[in-house]
Amino acid sequence: MSSREEVLRRVRDAIGGARGTHPPAPRGYARRLTEAEAATRADVLALFTERVAGHRAAVRHVSADELATAVAAALWGREAKQIVVPADLPFGWLAELDGVRALADTPALDLEALAAADGTVTGCAAAVAQTGTVVLDGGRAQGRRALTLVPGYHLCIVHADQIVGTVPEAVARLDPSRPLTWISGPSTVHDIGATRVDGVHGPRHLEVLVVED
């Protein structure tokens, strides 16, 4: 018996009869918000807003007609001069930019260009009220992962109908085969000496615009 066969034999012995099967996972967790948490749709949106703000992210509600102006105002507020965006971002979202240059990520910008940008603007695939999370899946208006992880500022547009109550509800809406990025507030770690350090693994600043149609 070769060493390879020996190793495989030990692995097979160790996993025994359970090979290829999984122990049942407990599914007793809450799949939906309770009445106390959110009785109405407006409560769900309010909870999302509260939880996003709790992650030290800025969050604002706008109407569809106000969106372009709100995007421009957010970028002016940060004195952004150059941003990077997915090529399929709806043009209307950036229609009011004045003095801010937007670079489309096609052909793909190099990492230096992403790092030099003052921020990025994207949509999302879904959002979770209970955890104040936006989820990106690389689909329409979201771009590839580097686009939202390298720049220091991420402005994320969330349509109200994309917001669900809980993580299980979001999972049910999403395609598990896509590259999912779950964003709960700006990037922050406490890895070293329990000291909070922001912006190491993603944007230091996150801003969310909720569009209510």
Q: Could you list the residues that contact a second copy (CB under 8 A)?
A: 64-65, 68, 85-95, 102-107
Task: Kindly report the number of other CB atoms within 10 A of residue 30's CB atom.
Answer: 12
Minimal distance in Å, beta carbon 57 to a second copy? 23
What are the structure tokens assigned to 144, written together?
């590839």
Which token pair is 146?
Answer: 């580097």
Residue closer to a second copy by CB (options 47, 85) is 85
Contact 188/203 with Cβ under 8 angstroms?
Answer: no
**Nearer to a second copy (CB atom), residue 38 or residue 147:** 147
Q: Which is nearer to a second copy, 77 or 92 (CB)?
A: 92
Cβ distance to a second copy smaller for residue 129 or 141: 141
Verify cis geometry, omega within 30 degrees of 0, for the bond prior to 107.
Answer: yes
Q: Is residue 77 packed enough to be buried (19+ CB in 10 Å), middle (13-18) or exposed (0-12)?
A: exposed
Closest CA to 70 of 106, 38, 39, 94: 94
Q: To the nearest whole angstrom, how small is the minimum distance from the Cβ of residue 107 to a second copy?
A: 5
Q: Kindly state the smallest distance separating residue 124's Cβ from a second copy, in Å.
A: 16
Instruction: State the minimum distance, in angstroms, from the CB of residue 103 to a second copy.
Output: 7
